[in-house]
Chain A
C-alpha cells in the first residue's frame, strides 16, 4: 500500500510540474521536426553513389570473375566508378592514400575487399552493394549445380529479377529523416528521464520530507520502489504522447510491431530512471553528471547522426551506449522484421537498471539506520 501511495504522489507531483512535462514532451517533437526536416537530404534514397571510386583486380578466370563483370556493369549504372588495378600493391597504395574508396581483389574462389578507415562510409556502401552481388552469385551457383543451362541464361540476362531478397533497411521501406529521428529523439529523451528519477530523490531531500517519510512506519524499499515506479509511469506517458504525435501527426513510420518496440522503449525507461536514482544517491551534483552522460550515450547511440560511416573504432565505442542497442533493435524490428537483437537490448537495459537500483538501495540503507 505504501508503494502505491508513494507512486501516486510521484505521479501527481510530476504531472503538476508543467515545465518539466512540457520540456520532455515538446523537446523530442521539436527535435524530430527540426532534424527530420533539416537532414532530409542525407536520408534521401534517390541519391546516387557519386564520387565513389573503386579499384579492382580480376585477372583470373572462373565463374566468380565472370560474374563480377556483371557487378561492374550494374555498379556503373548506380554511379560507382571502376578502375582496373595494374598491381595489387599499387591498388592498396591508392586506397591507403584515399584515391579510391576500396580495392576489390577478385579471385577464382572468392573476393577480398581492402578499405581505408578514412573512406569508411563510402567503403561501407560498396560493401553493402557487394553483399547483394555475392548473395545473388551464391544463389546462381546453387542453381547451376541443379540446372547449369538456366543459371547461364540468368547470368547473361542481367535484367533478371533478383533471386535473393535482402532484408535490409532498404527493403521494402527505408527510413526517411523524420522516421529516423522519431525513433532516435524518443530514445534520447528517454535518457532524460534519468533526471526525473534523480529529482525524485533529490527533491525529497531538498523539501526535507525524506526524514518525515523515514519517521513513518514504512520500509525504505517501499519508498524507493514507489519512486522508481512513479518515474517510470510518468516517462511512459511522455513516450506515449510522443509516439502518438509522431505517428499520427508527423506520419512517421513505426512499423507493424509496436508491442515489441514498446517493450524495448520500456526497458530503456527502466534503465534511465534507475540510472538517475542511482546517481542521485552517489553524486552530489547529479544534474552535472547526467548532463555529461546523456549526450555521450545519445551520440554513441546514434541519436544525432547515424554512426555507420564513422569507422570501426566509433562502432566499437558505440557498443558501450545502451541507446545504441535500443536504436539498433528498433530499426531492425521496424524495417527488417528482425527480432534477433531485441532480447539483447532489453537484457542490457535491465541489467544496467539492476546495477543502479542495487547502488541506490545500498546507499539509501547506509544513509540512516
Chain B
C-alpha cells in the first residue's frame, strides 16, 4: 500500500518555484531517503505533507486520504522530527513527551504507558524527570524524536535528525530509525550526511531545484554513475600539482583537491591509474595512499547536478 502519494505538487514563494510539479510515491514500510542541497525543496515538501503550509497545485495523499480534505486524519498518522530541536526546556523529558502525545488524543494510563515506553525506546528513562537544559545535544535530539513517536504514527518524517551530535548519539538514532521501521513505521529521512541515507534508506529520492531528478534504491541510483571511476590519492603536498595537467590525462573527467587529498574521477572504460601514478612521481609528489572508490550517493548527486550536496 502506498502510504504517501504526491501528485503534480507545486509550491511557489513569490517568483521562486520551491516545488516544481513533483510526483512521489512511498510504499508502506519503506525508509525513504530524501536528498537534496539547501533550498532544493525538501522542507517545503515536508511542510506541505505535515499541513504547515498550503500547496499551490497538486495533490497529497497520506494512507489514501487527501491531506487537505482530511487534515486531522493525516496529522494523526504523522510524526514529525523537525530539524531544529523543538522541545520545551522548562518541562522535564517526561512532561515534554506527555504533552505532545496528549495532543494526539492519548490520555490516562495509555498515555502514561506510551510515554514510559518512548522514554525507554530513546534511552532516556533515567532522565525522565530532568529538564532538557541539563541534556547534551544528543540527548536533546533523542527527546526531539521521542516527542514525535509516542503517539505511534504510521509515517515518521525525520528532517536532519543527526545534525550536530556525537557519534554515539548518532548511532543510537540510526538504530532507533531501523527499530521504528521494523515496528512497522514508514520513515521519510532527510539528511546532509549521504552515508547515513545510504546506510538506512531502502529507497532514495534526489531533489534539486524543486524537482525529483532521480529516484530508486541505492543500487539503482549508483548504476547511474557506474561509467565513472574515482581514485582518491593522498599526497605529502598538493602544491606541486597542476590541475590542468592532471585533467589532461586521458580519461580524467574531474579533479577535486581537499588539502592533501586529490580526488580524480575518470571514465570507467579507460584504465589510467598507471598514468596518474606516473604524473605524481614525475612531479616529485610523494604518494602516501591510493584508494579506488566505489560509487556513492555523493558521486551520484555530483554526476546528476555537477555540484556537491553541501555546495
A interface with B by C-beta (< 8 Å): 1-2, 5, 9, 12-13, 16-17, 207-209, 211-218, 368-369
Interface centre among A9, A13, A17, A212 (most CB of B within 10 A): A212
Q: What separation, in Å, do the CA atoms of A212 and B71 have in the docked complex?
A: 15
Q: Tell which of A9, A209, A368 touches B87, judged by Cβ atoms closer than 8 Å.
A: A209
Contact between A208 and B85, CB atoms less than 8 A apart:
yes
Using Cβ atoms and an 8 Å threshold, which residues of chain A touch B103? Answer: 2, 5, 213, 216-218
Contact between A207 and B52, CB atoms less than 8 A apart:
no
Closest chain-A Cβ to B66's Cβ sits at a distance in Å of: 14
Contact between A5 and B82, CB atoms less than 8 A apart:
no
Interface centre among A9, A207, A209, A215 (most CB of B within 10 A): A215
Q: What separation, in Å, do the CA atoms of A2 and B84 have in the docked complex?
A: 24
Contact between A212 and B90, CB atoms less than 8 A apart:
no
A-B contact count (CB 8 A): 67
- Further 8 A-B residue pairs, CB within 8 A, beyond A369-B51, A369-B54: A9-B88, A9-B91, A207-B88, A208-B86, A211-B80, A215-B75, A217-B104, A369-B53
Q: Tell whether B105 is near chain A: CB-to-CB under 8 Å.
A: yes
Contact between A368 and B107, CB atoms less than 8 A apart:
no
Q: Tell which of B89, B95, B100, B105 touches A212, judged by Cβ atoms closer than 8 Å.
A: B100
Contact between B89 and A207, CB atoms less than 8 A apart:
yes
Residues from 71 to 127 in B contacting A, C-beta threshold 8 Å: 71-72, 75-76, 78, 80, 82, 84-91, 95, 99-100, 102-105, 107
Closest chain-A Cβ to B85's Cβ sits at a distance in Å of: 7
Closest chain-A Cβ to B16's Cβ sits at a distance in Å of: 18
Using Cβ atoms and an 8 Å threshold, which residues of chain A touch B78? Answer: 215
Contact between A12 and B91, CB atoms less than 8 A apart:
yes
Classify the secondary structure of A's interface with B: helix
Q: What separation, in Å, do the CA atoms of A346 and B58 have in the docked complex?
A: 50
Question: A217 and B147 in contact (CB under 8 A), knowing A5-B99, A16-B90?
Answer: no
Classify the secondary structure of B's interface with A: loop
Q: What separation, in Å, do the CA atoms of A213 and B88 have in the docked complex?
A: 12
Contact between B51 and A215, CB atoms less than 8 A apart:
yes
Question: A208 and B84 in contact (CB under 8 A), knowing A13-B90, A214-B51?
Answer: yes
Using Cβ atoms and an 8 Å threshold, which residues of chain A touch B105? Answer: 1, 217
Sample (29) of A-B pairs whose CB atoms are under 8 Å apart = A1-B107, A2-B103, A5-B102, A5-B103, A12-B95, A13-B88, A13-B90, A13-B91, A16-B90, A207-B87, A207-B88, A207-B89, A208-B85, A209-B87, A212-B80, A212-B82, A212-B147, A213-B103, A214-B51, A214-B52, A215-B50, A215-B78, A216-B103, A217-B75, A217-B76, A217-B103, A217-B105, A368-B53, A369-B54
Closest chain-B Cβ to A216's Cβ sits at a distance in Å of: 4
